Structure 1
């Protein structure tokens, strides 16, 4: 199995490591046809690699590169841009820049406002290199000192010292509207209210206040990063304000947060093409690299046909027919919804001018197509059952959930690791609010990728399921298994802060400390839970846990007895307290502890416990005196008293069953009988 895991993620390692502005390697063989001669002199021709269908990578590679390496998806491009900018700064260019800066000082009043969005976009681009979590990325307010924007500012300052010019006042941002504060506060207090977020975003879109728009959308994406349409809305808003680079950064954050969104990738690619410099010779390479990253992230999705078609159409426009052939070779082996159309659109006349070779090539591709057709037919019923492939806060129908579960089981048993990972990622978009699917995904990855499991737990617990305890407990247990005790401790503590009062979380924190020898901390956690109990029942529950901890782990009978006795004084109607006190006394030497054991029985018999509970304690007291008693007088007295108590209890039970049918005189008789029973029982 491990040796049969490969294509998607091993190739991911190769392609994702390439920057967006360099030529990516193809995953399939490019057939050199009669048109390839015109492409050989072009540096954009993709190096040929033969894909072996039996060489199928590993789940560990799949997860690491599909989920984790996406954080580095776009970093190399920015580094390359910075390097090229630095190299282009020759002494002549520096001198020219200084002359331009000096000559433009008189226009600073007009340029300050226009420069500010550019500086902000540079800041966003620099911050993107450092961010690890895409949904938490926010426009930073401080740019790197070495950025081109800051270099221009420094040069401008130097020229100002030579020839100072009065600058007009920079227009200040408009005040934050009170209506925004009201809507934002509602979302902060109740982040699960999706309609509240919708109202907030609709409001800020109507207001001409870019800072408020960014603030609202960033807060929204921290909670709902899978809403791909809102990523486009924010990008459009930035573009409308003239911030093209910031808009591109928004798209980057979006495809990082939801890499399987074909729609978002298509919008992003259209944005890149619309804003590309046609005179720049590197533009085709950058666009091609963006397409490669798009099909790498979302190309194995069953509904990714539009993305592949867009890639093919663009390469056709560039007249790179060898690349078009290579793309067709890749898509013909991927089960997609419109798989048959790709074979129909394929121009076989481009393959080769040699007739015999053409037939051979067509035969090979037809064989791949036939195999792919079989794979599509196996999955067609499952795909037809997916009615809502996108994210929404509304609950899914039971049939939808069942379909996803059955589809996952089928893919795990029959599919490649690439397809299993992609299907899980697709499922978790539609079922992001169901912790069962997140736990199933983490369980699947446990044998292959530690970082992949951690990534799944982190994404689920910090974004989509922040108040679901079960998956948090599993995450903490996983980190403890890996030896990350502080991380496990922090997960449990954070969960308890978000969802206070859950006994399972407090007990898990106690057991964590106990397992690692922090007995004082475990005792302190239980004592704190007792003190902060909302009612007597909750306090008694933690008291029993603390007493057991003190007795069984810390070997302190005295402290355990003290905890139970003090709690009994506050809650005299809890049978569990008396039973645990009795168990505690029994755990020692019963002959030496006879007085304490009898005192425990007497305390229960004289308490306001229900009559049946006290009868049970009376019976156990008789048994104790018979087995371990040292005073015959106590045994004889209790043997005489207990049968009377039994008969009284039986009579009382009969009368209680007739209570509802009795007249007032019958109820009075029952009351007298009950009082007589109490007098006998208590002596």
Structure 2
């Protein structure tokens, strides 16, 4: 639910009130009036009072969060007020329990932690901060920070041990998977990957011809892979590749675009360049879009073009860019999750995106309904389904119908999986909870619909005629009560 708006830094200590002033600063030490001690004392008292007041404000915010943990604005205020790193860390952790943080927030968090400690003990914690951050939104800047941090601070990586090399390459591949297809910024990840491999090449002794040749081939393949992807500045990447090949002793004519370039690479490059030109108009529209959400939403019609092109990886990256720009746009999240349900159907991806969607747009009942249905399709465990359902009904929706739909979706799912060994008592308890929660707000028609469904299940699945009869008796009482309540509220019924 977070936006890209940058939070103000934690408030600094209040400036001393009273005392000194410009005149005192110009006096020789011996000439400072004795009254300045009184001024200094007053200033100290003011500082202490301000600090105490700030502490009370933080305590009040913390109390509010204990009572209302889903209050996003209070989380933001708590971050702003936290004046020390320990409180700031706790505030960030608490906020992230309920809301995603923006890439900017993750960057600030990591930098704050790095500034405090550079010990090996803290490396793992900071690495986790970056790792969590890049999972919430696509951010090329955050990925670059993450890569730089691991490359510099992981001992096994900086020492080029076999495990370190493997770890760093896997991390670069993860970065490329996440953002390597980003048309305007993906080249930054490719460039960082190549620079890393080029640095490794320098460390290999000249006498080790076999190892050097393997490393040269590794760098060459990175160039070839990048040149097959439609990205901005493709021409400069091609020129850089030719220059690098010349350094390896493979002479070519710099003035001829494809001299010395393998034919298969030329073919892939031309195709990628054509794809880039097809997308350039959309990228230009995005870069020129106003700051209003409506402007950006309109420009993300680009997604429809990409969907028609039929490459799921490209569509997914574009959706990730969209939700990073517009994290609380339920339309984009609905489109994204629907696309994954229809097309990709990879359980780990579907599960992750729905989880993030419902953290960003907690108030959209339809997202929760689709989330539960999607988990059922990928055969998620009952424990996971129960957990998601409980998260859903704790949210605040604009209509009682949304709660009703979530309860019904849960019961439908339990009914469909009763053959898997689920206890019918779980269905009965869910319906009992639904009736208790919804009866005072549902229309009489919807209330009767709920009870009719319940009675049917008691008979067909529970095989309990007495229980079904009891449900109907309760339904009549509730519906008559609702009619009586509405009559009192609206005047005599006619």
User: One fold, TM greater than 0.5?
Assistant: yes
Q: Tell me which of 54, 62, 65 is aligned to 1:184.
A: 62
Contact 2:411 2:430 in 1 (8 A): yes
Which residue of 429, 441, 447 corresponds with 1:542? 447
Note closer, same or farther for the CA distance 1:196–1:499 as it changes in structure 2 (3 Å cut). closer
Deviation at 1:292, TM superposition (A): 4.5
1:427-463 deviation per Cα after TM superposition (whole angstroms, max 9, x unaligned): 33223323443343333334542333233223333x3
Provide the secondary structure at the position in 2 that maps to 1:301: coil
Indicate the SS of the match to 2:286. coil
Tell me the alpha carbon deviations over residues 44-74 of structure 1, each in whole angstroms, 9 at most, x when there is no partner: xxxxxxxxxxxxxxxxxxxxxxxxxxxxxxx
For residues 343 and 574 of structure 1, do their structure 2 counterparts lie closer, same or farther at Cα, with a shift above 3 Å needed? same
Against the structure 1 CA distance between its residues 497 and 220, is the aligned structure 2 distance closer, same or farther, given a 3 Å change threshold?
closer
**1:378 and 2:283 aligned:** no
Q: How far did 1:268 drift? A: 2.7
Whole-angstrom CA distance in 2 between matches of 1:432 and 1:521: 35
**1:369 matches 2:265:** no
Q: CA shift at 1:520, angstroms?
A: 6.5
Q: 1:465 aligns with which of 349, 357, 361?
A: 361
Q: Choose which of 447, 450, 453 in structure 1 pairs with 2:347.
A: 450
Q: RMSD of aligned C-alpha atoms? A: 4.3
Query: Which residue in 2 is equivalent to 1:298?
Result: 179
Write the mapping of 1:77-226 to structure 2, written as runs, cut at 5 A. 177-187=55-65, 196-204=74-82, 206-207=83-84, 210-226=85-101
Q: Which 5+ residue runs of structure 2 have no aligned equivalent? A: 1-51, 203-214, 460-464
Task: Report if aligned partners of 2:79, 2:88 keep a CA contact under 8 Å in 1.
Answer: yes
Please state if 1:307 is matched with 2:202. no
Matches within 5 A, 1:620-659: none
**Structure 1 residues 300 and 398: CA distance shift in structure 2, 3 A:** same
Gaps of 5+ in 1: 1-174, 577-606, 611-683
Aligned equivalent of 2:125: 249
- Larger RCO (CA under 8 A, 6+ residues apart): 1
Does residue 409 in structure 1 map to residue 304 in structure 2?
yes
Aligned-pair CA distance for 1:376: 0.5
Q: Taking structure 2 as the reference length, what is the TM-score of the superposition?
A: 0.65
CA distance in structure 2 between the partners assigned to 1:314 and 1:192 by the alignment: 42
User: Aligned with 1:498: secondary structure?
Assistant: coil
Contact 2:407–2:430 under 8 Å retained in 1? yes
The yes-or-no answer on 1:566 pairing with 2:464 is no
1:235 partnered with 2:110 = yes
Partner of 2:408: 507
Query: What is the CA distance between 1:324 and its match in structure 2?
Result: 4.2
1:494 aligns with 2:391: yes
In structure 1, the residue matched to 2:139 is 261
The 8 Å contact of residues 123 and 153 in structure 2, kept in 1 or not, is answered as: no
Task: Quote the Cα distance in structure 1 between the aligned partners of 2:479 and 2:153.
Answer: 75
Compared CA separation, residues 548 and 262, structure 1 to 2 (3 A): closer
Contact 1:225 1:258 in 2 (8 A): no
Write the deviation string for residues 384-442 of structure 1: whole angstroms up to 9, x where unpaired.
233599xxxx99622322332x3222222214333233223323322332344334333
Deviations 1:119-163 (A, max 9, x none): xxxxxxxxxxxxxxxxxxxxxxxxxxxxxxxxxxxxxxxxxxxxx
The verdict on how the C-alpha distance between 1:498 and 1:377 changes in structure 2, with shifts beyond 3 A counting, is: same
Kept after mapping to 1: 8 A contact 2:181/2:314:
yes
Partner of residue 427, structure 1: 322
Shift of 1:193: 5.8
C-alpha change, 1:214 and 1:380, in structure 2 (3 Å) is same
